[in-house]
Structure 1
């Protein structure tokens, strides 16, 4: 009987699980709160809290000017923008200095540049840079962001309004990702696909379990009292996934967190080529699995089963005749993820949308690349010299 045939069982399992993930994705698209632009009037800002915008920067000469200018241009008046040059060997610091010099006299105090100290043992570079910035920040709120982000002028006002509305002490967000090269467009949306189709965002926001908390360093805003209570970046000084770990520390301490869609307000150009995507995600992809080899291998096999096996079987059936039931199951299991990817593109991709929709047809190849990146991330973690990032070597404790 075909019901006991291994390919049939695997394809049944694949289509069943994909159907569950489709439901999760639809719920996420319906419940993923969007951070919407809020323009705060000047008279409202007189009693508003003071914000410190903190930007760690190491070798960011391609990105830093656009980022800093967007932050200085915030329509929220009560803020300071603090940039720390983390021992860059490019023109990062010089670019910030030129921006400061070009500011009108009444705006020069709005932006300050600091030179980072030498990296102490046991610290990851970005974490120590953020720690140094937090020590000189004056704000009631600490707004951490990466140097490769560009912010709408109403970002700070919108973040404050959202945090007050939901009564949370930490807010993090997913920005719009600027994708230009073929490699970026092929791989990066599939990582978003895996995240939004596997965990309900409503659960991430409402659960009290630290393991379900998430954070994104491209926009990570704390009430200062909450940040200091959990120990700040000192509590996560050695990890390469510090944003997620900070969120878990905050939740473990009883603080309320919110993860929102900042597509309308924040843009980010993380990588500029397939090679950069490969290196960047290899740095911390394994950390998403809490450095559990068993957990990572399970995720690897699950992704291959769900998203690579069905189209591979369809291809195989072109050369070796198969029963109609198997072909129908394989076609269904192949079509559903493509449909899910199209749904995500329609929600999150507004640039070159036609090309992005076409690339949805290559979803199995995207997932295969993701699996290879995970394998490489595991390899980097276990090799003797550890992970290399921006000219530094990190060897996290196993």
Structure 2
């Protein structure tokens, strides 16, 4: 092997170790053995724009929950389909958003809510067990019922093209700064967006969604608004509690969705965490390049070590993916394709945000 081959292999193996430090764990809420006080009345607020085909699983899962002391407010954000009718068929109260956008819809729901606690849910999420809501509420109660507890739902994958989201799902979690080997040492980047639980008083003290209206990354901005009031923001995984299926409409919707948020959201990631992410992604390409180079040169020693490195990256990426979604392990031997797609969409998002200053989402052109 040449000196360059050795250097590349060393960098690759170091990148695998950095990956372990970068994504050390992803805790989820669980039942506690501690005595629990009775839970207060809950208001579940669901902003929805053209969600006719996706909101039913969430509403059905809410009907199946063992905890039932809640109201459901679906805020129709100028839908052109039958979102409102579907919501009413499940007994939800439907409000018509007089503004425009998710933040405006959430604020309207909070103003009309009767509950002491507020739970904001994206319409494409759903609870995956009858105790899921109870686990979430008891976790929040056990932490003093202050600030935000947010879950990143477990990503449900059904079609092959949806696997190209896997690296995005991993980086979204890692980019919150809380899941490295150092735990909560770094300041959180904000809040996960699909599932946000808080109490009413803290919400209005922070300014809530009214304060962040117009923000592209409303979840990160809302978390920052709570932190400014010295209120805690806790982020956890949703495996076994809540799931979502992202962008079932097709590749175009997937590209548009990730483009909308990724280049902006990455600005909130701690520089050290971002450096580890960059090193880990770079290592994935180095590992693939080393294996291809060793095969072309037919260098047995190089093929053995680069093959081991490639297998390690395959296993590690699949393991990380299993924390965030039900991605099929069979796709991970082709992991370089997944990383290339991530880099391509990130660059596209960066150009849209920093050059054209606009992104598109659900038929709306959003200036950034």
TM-score (norm 1): 0.80
Task: Please say if 1:14 is aligned against 2:33.
Answer: no
Give the Cα–Cα distance (whole angstroms) in 1 for the partners of residues 215 and 62 of structure 2. Answer: 27
Aligned to 1:172: 150
Aligned to 1:99: 90
Aligned to 2:192: 216
Give the Cα–Cα distance (whole angstroms) in 2 for the partners of residues 157 and 204 of structure 1. Answer: 29
CA spacing shift, 1:379–1:291, aligned 2, 3 Å = farther
Partner of residue 114 from structure 1, selected from 95, 112, 117? 95
The range that moved more, 153-162 or 138-147, is 153-162
SS at match of 2:296: coil
CA spacing shift, 1:205–1:248, aligned 2, 3 Å = farther
Give the Cα–Cα distance (whole angstroms) in 1 for the partners of residues 181 and 102 of structure 2. Answer: 29
Deviations 1:46-104 (A, max 9, x none): x531211000000111111222232244332321110011001111112123333xxxx
CA spacing shift, 1:144–1:233, aligned 2, 3 Å = same
Equivalent runs, 1:178-257 vs 2, <5 Å: 178-185=156-163, 187-195=164-172, 199-201=177-179, 206-207=184-185, 209=187, 212-257=188-233
Q: Which runs of 5+ in 2 are unaligned?
A: none
Task: Please say if 1:391 is aligned against 2:368.
Answer: no
CA spacing shift, 1:23–1:300, aligned 2, 3 Å = closer
Partner of residue 160 from structure 1, selected from 104, 120, 137? 137
Give the Cα–Cα distance (whole angstroms) in 2 for the partners of residues 14 and 291 of structure 1. Answer: 27
Q: Which runs of 5+ in 1 are unaligned?
A: 39-43, 101-110, 120-124
Aligned to 1:313: 290
Aligned to 2:113: 137
The range that moved more, 62-71 or 191-200, is 191-200
SS at match of 1:49: coil
Deviations 1:360-398 (A, max 9, x none): 2121111111111101111221343610101111112xx
Verify the 8 A CA contact 1:286 1:296 in the aligned structure 2: no
Aligned to 1:56: 47
Tell me by how many angstroms 1:256 deviates.
Answer: 1.9
Task: Please say if 1:274 is aligned against 2:218.
Answer: no
Tell me by how many angstroms 1:36 deviates.
Answer: 3.2
Give the Cα–Cα distance (whole angstroms) in 1 for the partners of residues 118 and 274 of structure 2. Answer: 37
CA spacing shift, 1:295–1:58, aligned 2, 3 Å = farther
Task: Please say if 1:89 is aligned against 2:67.
Answer: no
Verify the 8 A CA contact 1:56 1:84 in the aligned structure 2: yes
Aligned to 1:106: none
Verify the 8 A CA contact 1:84 1:133 in the aligned structure 2: yes
How many residue pairs match? The answer is 362
Verify the 8 A CA contact 1:204 1:214 in the aligned structure 2: no
Tell me by how many angstroms 1:313 deviates.
Answer: 2.9
The range that moved more, 224-233 or 382-391, is 382-391
Give the Cα–Cα distance (whole angstroms) in 2 for the partners of residues 206 and 224 of structure 1. Answer: 25
SS at match of 2:151: strand
Give the Cα–Cα distance (whole angstroms) in 2 for the partners of residues 118 and 195 of structure 1. Answer: 28
Verify the 8 A CA contact 2:171 2:277 in the aligned structure 1: no
Verify the 8 A CA contact 1:37 1:154 in the aligned structure 2: no
Task: Please say if 1:68 is aligned against 2:49.
Answer: no
Verify the 8 A CA contact 2:178 2:186 in the aligned structure 1: no
Partner of residue 361 from structure 1, selected from 325, 333, 343? 333
Tell me by how many angstroms 1:322 deviates.
Answer: 5.0
Tell me by how many angstroms 1:205 deviates.
Answer: 6.3
Partner of residue 33 from structure 1, selected from 24, 27, 34? 27
CA spacing shift, 1:60–1:37, aligned 2, 3 Å = farther
Give the Cα–Cα distance (whole angstroms) in 1 for the partners of residues 277 and 139 of structure 2. Answer: 36
